Amino acid sequence: MTRKFFGTDGVRGTANVYPMTADMALRIGAAAGRYFRNDGSNGHRVVIGKDTRLSGYMFESALTAGLTSTGMNVLLLGPVPTPAVGLLTTSMRADVGIMISASHNPHHDNGIKFFGPDGFKLSDAAEEQIEALIAADIEPAKAANIGRAKRIDDGRFRYAERLKSTFPAGMRLNGLKVVIDCANGAAYKVAPEVLWELGATVIKVGVDPDGFNINDGCGSTHPDRAAQVIRETGADVGICLDGDADRVIILDETGAVADGDQIMALMAARWAAKGRLQGDTLVATVMSNLGLERFLGAKGLHLKRTAVGDRYVVEAMRAGGFNLGGEQSGHIVMTDYATTGDGLLAGLQFLAAMIDTGHKASVLARNFDTVPQLLKNVRFTAGTDPLATKGVAASIADAETKLFGKGRLLIRKSGTEPLIRVMAECEDDMLLAQVVDQIVAEVESVT
């Protein structure tokens, strides 16, 4: 079954433009309520969190209306990181968790993503069943069985305590000056609080959300501001989160960036040395750099690649019994501690490595030499399929021939935006640019 609404990470789009409208959010809530309240009882719960987008108020209200109309009881967490929703879904014994966020996208976008009662994101099969209910006539609950809504005021504090419990017992961050960039997003309160409580000197960036400035010139996708603050203040390290705080990049003491691949390399090597890396395997996506694969191989470790999307990483981890995975973009998944990517948790693990080894961030953030990688995005008209045209297919085939034995090529549609992502890796910079540009030009010619 082809899913109409759900992409690689829930339902996402421009706020107040179909399908991200209040009316659709109400129907999505009602469909989810009908799916999870399948025995007709009134003991079912759903927790709802959100980031700091203005449209979050609208979607929170609409989802609540839809869910309560089918008899679900709603627990409203307010602004909390996505991993907090995964955690609290299980700890509060809820049937489903919902996060209202478009992650690293600008403020005018928003999204709805679901967690099952085990705290993990819903499977494709479950989303397909909810989609079928959206299209059907959803039977409301009887008047006496309408659900209740209650605001939970201590959600972020519960999450903060869980985060601190993952930090090595007795270890403190005293003497460490940390820049934390919260992208004016969901972690704008909890991230600085946790770092301060662990003893760090905290320098805050992106902690003044106004409904419109989430991810705007800050956060994991725009680290220049945090890098400048590091250089101005002489900070030891920077942690840059995205809008819903499920991804992270690290900045060293010079302001240089370490992406998810470098963070995973550090953690995989440290965990393997301690006998903690299950199956001696790291799970990452097809986007991860070839240098990461070579680094792991040299240590006798394995890299298992998946489709792009942290949910597919988690599915492979669960299926294989692995406990560490993630994405180059900064989703780091540690199933020993959490059910989904957690940027602040990964940042704390990096800080623990700094304290444990005594090394500067620049040493820990440079684990392997990357193979040159070039990624370009081409926007296309929704409803069209540029990859199905003969010209684009021929251009891709020609590029694969040129790269054979020298690198690799990855062409895919974004699961969250109408974009064709063209990525290649090759140690010949001229060839790399040539093959990417020829495909981009061909895609642009048919869009």
**Architecture of the domain delimited by 158-255:** 3-Layer(aba) Sandwich (3.40)
For the chain, the maximum distance between any two Cα atoms, rounded to a whole number of angstroms, is: 69
Decide the pairing of beta strands 73-79 and 149-151.
parallel
Residue for token pair 């001229």: 430
Give the model's pLDDT for residue 3.
Answer: 65
Give the model's pLDDT for residue 2.
Answer: 57
User: Do residues 444 and 436 touch, judged by C-beta distance below 8 A?
Assistant: no
State in Å, rounded, how far the first CA of the chain is from the last one: 26
Q: Which residues are catalytic?
A: 103
CATH no., domain 6-153: 3.40.120.10
DSSP 386: G
d(CA 303, CA 12): 30
Give the model's pLDDT for residue 251.
Answer: 98
Decide the pairing of beta strands 324-326 and 109-115.
unpaired
For the chain, the domains span 6-153, 158-255, 260-345+353-364, 373-446
d(CA 313, CA 304): 9
Per-residue pLDDT of the chain (447 residues; tens, 9 = 90+): 456 788 777 899 999 999 999 999 999 999 999 999 877 788 899 999 999 999 999 999 999 999 999 999 999 999 999 999 999 999 999 999 999 999 999 999 999 999 999 999 988 889 999 999 998 889 899 999 999 999 999 999 999 999 999 999 999 999 999 999 999 999 999 999 999 999 999 999 999 999 999 999 999 999 999 999 999 999 999 999 999 999 999 999 999 999 999 999 999 999 999 999 999 999 999 999 999 999 999 999 999 999 988 989 999 999 999 999 999 999 999 999 999 999 999 999 999 999 999 999 999 999 999 999 999 999 988 778 899 999 999 999 999 999 998 888 999 888 767 899 999 999 999 999 999 999 999 999 987
Residue for token pair 């209202």: 100
Whether 6-153 and 260-345+353-364 share one fold: the answer is: yes
Q: Which amino acid is at 40?
A: G
Plot region of 342 (φ>0 → left; ψ -120 to 50 → alpha; else → beta)? beta
Give the model's pLDDT for residue 384.
Answer: 82
Give the model's pLDDT for residue 269.
Answer: 98
Give the model's pLDDT for residue 429.
Answer: 92
User: DSSP letter string over 268-310?
Assistant: HHHHHHTT-SGGGEEEEETTS-HHHHHHHHHTT-EEEEE-SSH
Structure tokens at 51: 């980031």
d(CA 400, CA 57): 47
Closest CA relative to residue 197, chosen from 348, 85, 336, 364: 348
d(CA 38, CA 182): 39
Which CATH class, in words, describes the domain spanning 373-446?
A: alpha beta
Give the model's pLDDT for residue 293.
Answer: 94
Give the model's pLDDT for residue 391.
Answer: 92
- Segments of 209-279 assigned E as strands: 237-241, 248-251, 257-258
Give the model's pLDDT for residue 414.
Answer: 82
d(CA 155, CA 330): 24
Q: Hey, how many other C-beta atoms are within 10 angstroms of the C-beta on 90?
A: 17
Give the model's pLDDT for residue 352.
Answer: 98
The partner residues of 48 in beta bridges, in order of sequence, read 76, 98
Give the model's pLDDT for residue 42.
Answer: 82
Which CATH class, in words, describes the domain spanning 260-345+353-364?
A: alpha beta
